[in-house]
C-alpha cells in the first residue's frame, strides 16, 4: 500500500479540487453564523464616466440582516433584511426596486444558490482556497438590468462585482473579516457594528 502513496496523493488532489462544487461552497458560507469586517465600495457611473468611492464597516447575521455603516464620504447606516432595506432613520421604506436589489445582495452574501438559481445561470471556477462564481441572468427582463455578477473569495467572500446593463459597475471589496457568534450578535442592539 505504502508504495502507492505518491500515486494516491496525486490522484486524490485533483479529485478533491474537482469535487469542490456550489453545494460545498454554500455549506461553507452557510456555516458562518455571522461576520463583521470592513468594506470598500467603488461605483462606476458610465453616464458621467465617474467613480464614486465609499468605505465603512459591515456586520452580517446569517438569515437575518446585514448592517452597512458607511463612514466616508458621508455617514449613513443601512440595514438589509431578506424582505426590505431600510436606513435606520427612516424605517418605513417601501421602495420595491431597492428591496429587490437588497434581497439579491443578501442572497449573494449568503451564497443562497437555490434562490439565485431561479434567475441566474451559475458557474463556479477554482477550488476551495480560491473560488469564483459567475452569475448570468437567464431572463430577458433581468438581462435588461444586469449583465453579470461575479463573486470571488477564499474562506469568506472577498469581492463582489456587479455589471449593470447601463454599463455601471459596482465593486465591493471585503476585508478584515472575522466570524461573530450569532447569540452574541442577537444580544446586540440592532445596527450596532462590531469594532473588531
What residues line the site for other proteins (CB under 8 A)? 41, 43, 45, 47-48, 50, 52, 54, 68, 70, 73-74, 76, 78, 80, 82-85, 87, 94-103, 105, 115, 118-119, 139, 141-142, 144-145, 164, 170, 172
CB of 14 to other proteins, least distance (A): 37
Q: What angle do CA 75, 97, 92 make, to 5 degrees?
A: 60
CA count, 13 A, side-chain hemisphere, 45: 6
Residue with smaller CB distance to other proteins, 101 or 128: 101
Q: Residue 99 or residue 133: which is nearer to other proteins going by CB? A: 99
Shortest separation between residue 129's beta carbon and other proteins, angstroms: 26
Minimum CB distance to other proteins smaller for 21 or for 83:
83
Of 29 and 109, nearer to other proteins (C-beta) is: 109
As measured in angstroms, the least distance from the Cβ of 38 to other proteins is 14
Q: How far is Cα 147 from Cα 143, in angstroms, rounded to an integer?
A: 6
Query: Least distance in Å: CB of 158 to other proteins?
Result: 15
**105 vs 113, beta carbon nearer other proteins:** 105
Question: What residues have CB less than 8 Å from 110, skipping those under 6 apart?
Answer: 29, 30, 62, 63
Q: Are 40 and 173 in contact (CB under 8 A)?
A: yes
166: which residues sit within 8 A by CB, 6+ positions away? Answer: 46, 47
Coil, strand or helix at 88: coil
Amino acid at each position: 500500500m505504502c508504495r502507492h502513496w505518491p500515486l494516491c496523493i496525486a490522484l486524490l488532489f485533483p479529485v478533491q479540487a474537482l469535487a469542490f462544487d456550489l453545494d460545498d461552497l454554500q455549506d461553507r458560507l452557510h456555516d458562518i453564523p455571522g461576520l463583521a469586517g470592513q468594506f470598500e465600495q467603488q461605483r462606476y457611473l458610465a453616464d458621467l464616466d465617474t467613480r464614486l468611492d465609499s468605505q465603512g464597516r459591515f456586520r452580517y447575521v446569517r438569515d437575518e440582516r446585514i448592517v452597512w455603516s458607511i463612514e466616508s464620504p458621508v455617514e449613513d447606516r443601512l440595514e438589509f433584511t431578506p424582505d426590505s432595506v431600510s436606513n435606520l432613520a427612516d424605517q418605513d421604506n417601501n421602495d420595491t426596486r431597492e428591496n429587490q436589489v437588497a434581497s439579491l445582495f443578501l442572497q449573494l452574501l449568503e451564497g443562497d444558490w437555490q434562490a439565485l438559481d431561479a434567475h441566474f445561470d451559475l458557474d463556479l471556477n477554482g477550488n476551495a482556497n480560491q473560488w469564483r462564481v459567475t452569475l448570468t441572468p437567464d431572463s430577458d427582463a433581468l438581462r435588461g438590468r444586469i449583465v453579470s455578477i461575479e463573486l470571488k473569495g477564499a474562506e469568506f467572500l472577498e469581492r463582489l462585482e456587479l455589471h449593470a446593463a447601463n454599463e455601471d459597475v459596482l465593486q465591493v471589496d471585503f476585508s478584515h473579516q472575522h466570524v461573530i457568534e450569532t447569540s452574541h450578535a442577537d444580544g446586540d442592539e440592532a445596527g450596532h457594528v462590531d469594532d473588531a
